[in-house]
Chains A and B, each alone.
Chain A
Amino acid sequence: QVQLQESGPGLVKPSQTLSLTCTVSGGSIRNGDYYWSWIRQHPGKGLEWIGNIYYSGGTYYNPSLDSRLTISIETSKNQFSLKLTSVTAADTAVYYCARVEKKEIDFDQWGRGTLVTVSS
């Protein structure tokens, strides 16, 4: 059973860069049947897909975040990462990493999520 775990700072100052890493265990991030994705959920709100990456390094980003977003992958460590620049209070959310089944585009495995608060 694949497991995902988010890690990174829980507090980021406005205008700085939010950085998170997702560590995958119990399976290889090189599995070509899956994308690896970031999703966020603002407090008390719905889910927002941020973007995803394939093991080869190819990415898809949500256009609403594209100009501030970088998702990268490190296959040797079975990890992928998120960087979001110039954050504001509107980026305060629970951030999830998830595995996406490539054929049906369903998020079939999720991390527990990590709350990131943007505040000075």
Chain B
Amino acid sequence: DIQMTQSPSSLSASVGDRVTITCRASQRINSFLNWYQQKPGKAPKLLIYAASTLQSGVPSRFSGGGSGTDFTLTISSLQPEDFATYICQQGYRTPWTFGLGTTVEIK
């Protein structure tokens, strides 16, 4: 199975901060990398697919980058509604696998 490793596992930040989260795949996955936002008690919500394409309706302060094995999710200016857990997922090979998530907390 392809292992997805996210770092950091959690971070504290303030409204307006720029935040970057990293996801590393255990083997090359081209650009088959997606990012989700999950809030407590809710289903994940797709933010970015194909490593860098913003899902319809997602604010432009979210951006994604990378290819191969190393990927990033950046929030350019953190908003109060962005405090959540962010999860990466590879769709290159079954079984499709997810990272354990990065929790963004209020400083």
Contacts and interface: CB of A to CB of B under 8 A. Distances in A.
A64 B45 CA distance: 25
Interface stretch (B10-18, B20-28, B67-75, B97-105): B97-105
B45 A110 contact: yes
A18 B50 CA distance: 33
B63 interface: no
The range of chain A's interface size is 20 to 34
Contacts of A60: 94
Interface of B: 32, 34, 36, 42-46, 49-50, 53, 55, 87, 89, 91-92, 94-101
Contacts of A98: 43
A113 B87 CA distance: 17
A48 B96 CA distance: 8
A26 interface: no
A110 B43 contact: yes
Contacts of B45: 110
A30 interface: no
Nearest to A45: B100
Contact of B91 (A104, A110, A111): A104
Interface in A64-86: 64
Contacts of B101: 46
Contact of B44 (A48, A104, A107): A107
Contacts of B100: 45-46
A115 B94 CA distance: 25
Contact of B43 (A48, A96, A104, A105): A96
A46 B92 CA distance: 19
14 contacts: A46-B99, A47-B87, A49-B95, A104-B49, A104-B50, A104-B91, A105-B91, A107-B36, A107-B44, A107-B46, A107-B89, A108-B46, A110-B43, A110-B44
